[in-house]
């Protein structure tokens, strides 16, 4: 391992508030799928101006009338989805230095998107920047503006960020990427203003980057092209921990690595690798079986994506039903648009739930079957419906159970199971924060 490479330690966002419904709404907006289970949110036609939406290439965004997420009012009439209804914050943040001299930003590392955007001094003065690190390009001797380029990401009808594009040096994990394209926010909707983070660093494939008129290379793509990382290790890894794991062997550590695999995290195991289909820009692989309480379920031709920018795991309705049928007292809660189960459910009453990664199943930690307080003595589950999506989204609920290897050079996704012997299915109340 080159001496300049080291762990990028994740910062647990102490202000993060778990909310099952808000996290689900965030995913409805991010992936623009239609719910198949009843609840306050639905997708309906609405007149929209033409424009390029994030993931619009996949789901269609050029028609004047678009299918957008809406919320039923008290009288069952459709209305806009309020900005505060979506989870606006990130559970994990990573420090990244940008510019010369370096300005430090806490960014959300997201394998489900391909933009590197940050708060900038070009934002309107009316936007409160207190508590945020704001990039000032005039203070960096290596910054260069890319004339004529712009970017925009949109999560639903009321959440968007956009701005200008430039290049600068970006330092992460001990290595510096020269002339990396950075997207400077000059407009931020209320949703993006409410989060604690200073922006996002996308780790998906560059084909879904939103910069126009020409997409830009992602940080990992530039690490590879600039030979910042070894030819044999054109990869990054993710080890996502929890405050609940403080007494486990890893003490709840959370980190990324770039250009090497952490031997300590492997714990003597050999990674299992899945071939990745990057045609849609995601870390997508075959996932044709699952197991619930020891019963294997065949899922012909099913695929899944690994998304570090997603807190939940989303699967098809039949598998979702099978999981909660195995938890005593569970039920579908239409008000929360998700499955819930009694908060006093012991670990011994929770089933072992496993997902296939191209030929080998990995079990979700039982404590991560519980995501958030749903009220009335119930807990919002960490696995929910993917609606009409044709693939699973395996977010932190699944990724906390493994050490994940995103091998970009070889187009493969690797995993080894983590050793977290203690399991705590309790969740923070809606009035407290936690990781």
Note if 307 is an active site residue: yes
Could you tell me how many residues make up the chain? 435
| pLDDT reported for residue 59 | 40
| CA distance linking residue 320 with residue 314, whole number of Å | 8
Q: Check whether 428 has a pLDDT greater than 60.
A: yes
| pLDDT reported for residue 119 | 96
> What mean pLDDT value characterizes the chain?
88
Q: Please, which contacts does 294-297 make with residues 24 or more away whose CB atoms are closer than 8 Å?
A: 294/352, 295/322, 297/322
Q: Residue 295: what are its φ and ψ, rounded to 5°? A: -95, 120
More confident site: 246 or 263: 263
The string of pLDDT tens digits covering residues 291-304 is 999 999 999 999 99
Q: Is 425 helix (H, G, I), strand (E, B) or coil?
A: coil
| Residue of 265, 206, 268, 201 whose CA lies nearest to 237 | 265
The rounded percent of the chain whose pLDDT value lies above 70 is 85
3-state helix, strand, coil in the chain (%, to 5): 15, 35, 50
Q: How does DSSP assign 138-186, residue by residue?
A: GG-TT-EEEEEEEEEEE-SSS-EEEEEEEEEEEEETTEEEEEEEEEEEE
| pLDDT reported for residue 121 | 96
Note if 348 is an active site residue: no
Q: Check whether 245 has a pLDDT greater than 80.
A: no
| CA distance linking residue 362 with residue 418, whole number of Å | 10
Partners of 165 in the beta sheet?
183
| pLDDT reported for residue 63 | 43
Tokens of 252: 């709840």
- 188 and 127 Cβ atoms separated by less than 8 Å: yes
Q: Check whether 72 has a pLDDT greater than 60.
A: yes
The string of pLDDT tens digits covering residues 184-232 is 999 998 878 877 889 999 999 999 999 999 999 999 999 999 999 999 9
CA dist 310 → 22, 294, 412 (Å): 12, 26, 20
- Give the pLDDT band (50/70/90) at residue 269: very high
| pLDDT reported for residue 73 | 67
- Give the pLDDT band (50/70/90) at residue 89: very low
Q: Check whether 243 has a pLDDT greater than 80.
A: no
b/e per residue, 324-346, with b = 16+ CB within 10 A? bebbeebebbeebbbbbbbbebe
| CA distance linking residue 222 with residue 179, whole number of Å | 9
Give the strand order in the sheet containing 370-375: 331-333, 338-342, 378-381, 370-375
| CA distance linking residue 312 with residue 326, whole number of Å | 19
More confident site: 368 or 426: 368
Mean pLDDT in residue range 138-160:
88
**Which residue in the block uniquely carries the two structure tokens 């001094």?**
121
| pLDDT reported for residue 405 | 98
pTM equals 0.91
| CA distance linking residue 369 with residue 351, whole number of Å | 9
Tokens of 198: 């200073």
Of 85, 110, 115, 245, which residue is the catalytic one? 110
Which pairing describes strands 255-258 and 289-292: parallel, antiparallel, or unpaired? unpaired
Of 89, 168, 307, 356, which residue is the catalytic one? 307
Half-sphere exposure (CA, 13 Å, Cβ side) for 76? 1
**Which residue in the block uniquely carries the two structure tokens 């203003």?**
193
The rounded percent of the chain whose pLDDT value lies above 90 is 69
């Amino acid at each position: 391992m080159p001496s300049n490479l080291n762990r990028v330690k994740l910062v647990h966002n102490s202000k993060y508030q778990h909310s099952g419904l808000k996290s689900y709404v965030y995913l409805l907006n991010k992936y623009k799928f239609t719910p198949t289970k009843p609840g306050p949110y639905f997708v309906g036609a609405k007149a929209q101006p033409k424009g390029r939406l994030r993931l619009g290439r996949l789901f269609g965004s050029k028609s004047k009338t678009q299918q957008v997420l809406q919320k039923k009012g008290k009288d069952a009439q459709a209305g806009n989805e309020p900005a505060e209804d979506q989870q606006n914050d990130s559970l994990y943040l990573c420090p990244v230095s940008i510019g010369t001299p370096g300005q430090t930003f806490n960014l959300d590392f997201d394998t489900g998107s391909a933009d590197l955007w940050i708060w900038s001094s070009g934002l309107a003065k009316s936007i409160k920047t207190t508590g945020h690190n704001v990039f000032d390009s005039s203070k960096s001797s290596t910054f260069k503006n890319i004339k004529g380029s712009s970017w925009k990401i949109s999560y639903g009808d009321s959440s968007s960020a956009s701005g200008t594009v430039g290049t600068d040096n970006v330092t992460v994990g001990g290595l510096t990427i020269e002339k990396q394209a950075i997207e400077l926010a000059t407009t931020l909707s209320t949703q993006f203003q409410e989060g604690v983070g200073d922006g996002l660093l996308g780790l998906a494939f560059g084909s879904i980057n939103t910069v126009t008129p020409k997409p830009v290379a992602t940080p990992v793509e530039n690490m590879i092209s600039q030979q910042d990382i070894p030819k044999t290790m054109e990869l990054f890894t993710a080890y996502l921990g929890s405050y609940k794991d403080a007494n486990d062997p890893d003490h709840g550590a959370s980190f990324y690595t770039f250009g090497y695999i952490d031997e300590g995290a492997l714990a003597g195991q050999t990674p299992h690798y899945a071939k990745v289909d990057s045609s849609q820009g995601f870390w997508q692989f075959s996932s044709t079986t699952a197991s619930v309480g020891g019963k294997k379920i065949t899922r012909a031709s099913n695929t899944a994506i690994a998304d570090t920018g997603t807190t939940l795991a989303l699967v098809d309705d039949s598998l979702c039903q099978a999981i909660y049928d195995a938890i005593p007292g569970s039920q579908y809660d239409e008000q929360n648009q998700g499955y819930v189960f009694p908060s006093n459910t012991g670990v011994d009453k929770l089933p072992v739930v496993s997902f296939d990664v191209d030929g080998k199943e990995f079990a979700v930690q039982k404590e991560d079957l519980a995501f958030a307080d749903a009220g009335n003595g119930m807990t919002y589950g960490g696995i929910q419906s993917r609606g009409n999506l044709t693939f699973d989204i395996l977010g932190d609920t699944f990724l906390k159970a493994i050490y994940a290897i995103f091998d970009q050079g070889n187009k493969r996704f690797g995993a080894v199971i983590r050793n977290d012997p203690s399991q705590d299915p309790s969740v923070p109340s809606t009035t407290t924060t936690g990781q």
